[in-house]
Amino acid sequence: MNSMTDNEIRSFCNHLCRSISLRYASHLIKNDKHGGIAQMRSDQLFIDFYTIYRCYHFYELSKSSIPEHDVDLSSSGILTFVWDKERLEGRFIDGRKDDFKWKYDSLNHYVTLIKPFNIYIVTGGNHSIFYGMFYSSGSIKCNNAIDYTNMLKHFNLTEKYFIDLKGKKYKKSVFMKIHPELETLFLLGKKLIEINES
């Protein structure tokens, strides 16, 4: 990892996110129900600040202003959590049509940019955005962001816990336990900060 460039790390992060999104869909295809963690909040990625630690201000402190921009569904790292099997299978039927073209819906489709990785988490339109990503079709507007830079600077990852600079231990989020890629994502985030601040 020490020899990776900024662009290589960001590309790796994109692929990790798409892998997680595909695992969610794969699990849904195999089972009748997906589970209780489909709607993951953007402040629960590594440590569940919201539910477990009641640190409700984490999101407010981490919000970041950004100019509105287009997110390319064919190449961006997108965390999307499909949760309804019938809706997912219906999207595949739509995608087989000759005149298929993915369309952005400003009333339903929302993503939040997660810095410093420059990946995205879906906050509205999970099924639609997943199949846009699956068929490498379309783009979506983003004008909202959350910045994990301070969290990455103030926490270190061990085999079992996160530990802050004062030595306090924090449990890994349930989401992180299910998707080991997030451990790699966390470490890559720390490396991004190191590269860009050196």
User: How big is the CA angle at 142 (ends 34 and 40), to the nearest 5 degrees?
Assistant: 25
pLDDT at 183: 95
At 129 the pLDDT is 93
Q: What is the mean pLDDT of each successive set of 10 residues along the chain, which is 198 residues long?
A: 88 95 84 59 83 73 86 94 82 71 90 95 91 88 93 93 92 86 96 91
Q: What is the pLDDT of residue 36?
A: 47
What pLDDT, in 10s, does the model give residues 118-154? Answer: 999 999 999 889 988 988 889 999 999 999 999 999 9
Q: Where are the domains of the chain?
A: 6-197
Residues 6+ apart with CB under 8 A from 13: 77, 117, 118, 119, 185, 188, 189
What DSSP letter does each residue of 17-75 carry, written as one string?
HHHHHHHHHHHHHHSS---TTSS--TT-SSS-TTTTS--THHHHHHEE----EEEETTT
Give residue 169's pLDDT: 93
